[in-house]
Structure 1
Amino acid sequence: MGRGKGSKLVYIIIIVLGIVAAGLSISGERRRNNVEKDLRSHKNCDSDAASTGFGVVALLLLLFTQIALMVVTSCLCWGRGQLVSGGCCTCSVILLVFSWASFLSAEGSILAATVASSLHNGGHVHAGFSCSDIKFEFIRGGIFAFLTMIFNVFYYMCYTMTPTKKHVERIDPPANPTIGMTPSA
């Protein structure tokens, strides 16, 4: 992988799994919406566990995407060598923070919706979550999953564009190259 060129496989994994995770989260909301219309009951607004299953799969896909990206980029901690400070490195750090913030928001929202949906499936109407609250959490989780995918793509792009110390020394040799000998008197 050269400077500025990320692996196409990593881009494909980030984009496809991010879109699928967001889609599954929104599908969980759509599934709840359709079942609620069919049942016309406020006690149990999801007769099957489809939306709960969609939420669990969305959680796992989002988690796998984040872990895979952090393994590939070494989470900026080690790996390609010491990164040179500058625009791309700063941008990478900022995008990494936004990526993790949106990832944690997506995971929290989808997890809350999945747990509440599971409680509703068992006939336990949780006082804290109505059916509309659960649907809202699924939607919010889907939006944050999509934002996580966008931040991850740009983070990986900036990370691969950031030069390392070795790369800079290879391009810009020192001004006074010496061979390590002292001058004779």
Structure 2
Amino acid sequence: MGGSSTTCAVFFFIFSWVSFLGAEACLLAGSARNAYHTKFRANFHVDHLSCATLRKGVFAASAALTLLSMTGSILYYWSHSKADTGGWEKHNNEGLGMTSSNFAENQQQQKSSEF
């Protein structure tokens, strides 16, 4: 159909992927930094390993970006389906339809042809 729905679909597609990549970068950076700070603590026999050396907002930012990515994906799906069909219309006459079985008739024809 085109128009504003297609523009919105492209925007939300890009938005969902950018927020996903941001969330992934926060998780990887936070995990790598946390591993670096906790790697040498075992050498000094420190029993209590914690994330105190990592900034508190790194994993929270990742969670927030994950939520934004999910919301962007849902809005992308909604706007893409609206752009494809012109609204929430039901698709008619698409694919294979369900038909009644003629298995019993075929069996009777085979039995009658055998005699």
Which residue does the alignment assign to 1:148? 69
> What is the alpha-carbon distance in structure 2 between the residues aligned to residue 138 and residue 99 of structure 1?
18
Secondary structure of 1:131's counterpart equals coil
The secondary structure found in structure 2 opposite 1:105 is helix
| Pair 1:110-2:32 in alignment | no
Instruction: Report the TM-score, using the length of structure 1 for normalisation.
Output: 0.37
| Structure 2 gaps, min length 5 | 42-51, 86-115
Q: 2:80 aligns with which of 143, 155, 159?
A: 159
Alignment length, in residue pairs? Answer: 75
Query: Is residue 139 of structure 1 aligned with residue 56 of structure 2?
Result: no
Larger RCO: Structure 1 or Structure 2 (Cα < 8 Å, ≥ 6 residues apart)?
A: 2
Q: Offset of 1:107 from its aligned partner?
A: 0.6
- Cα distance in 1, alignment partners of residues 32 and 15 from structure 2: 26
User: Sequence identity, in percent?
Assistant: 29
Contact kept, 8 Å, 2:16 with 2:69, in 1: the verdict is yes
What stretches of structure 1 move > 4 A for 4+ residues in a row? Answer: none
In our comparison, the structure showing a higher alpha carbon Rg is 2
Q: Which runs of 5+ in 1 are unaligned?
A: 1-83, 125-129, 165-185
Q: Structure 1: how far apart are the matches of 2:77 and 2:38?
A: 39
Larger fraction in helix: 1
RMSD: 1.8
Select 1:101's aligned residue among 5, 14, 18.
18
Normalising by structure 2, what TM-score? 0.58
Letter in 2 for 1:150: T
2:7 to 90, 107, 116: 90
Residue-by-residue CA offset, 1:23-58 (whole Å, 9 max, x unaligned)? xxxxxxxxxxxxxxxxxxxxxxxxxxxxxxxxxxxx
1:17-166 superposed matches below 5 A: 84-123=1-40, 131-133=53-55, 135-163=56-84
- Per the TM alignment, residue 97 of structure 1 is displaced from its structure 2 partner at its CA by 1.2
2-side partners of 1:122 and 1:108: how far apart? Answer: 21
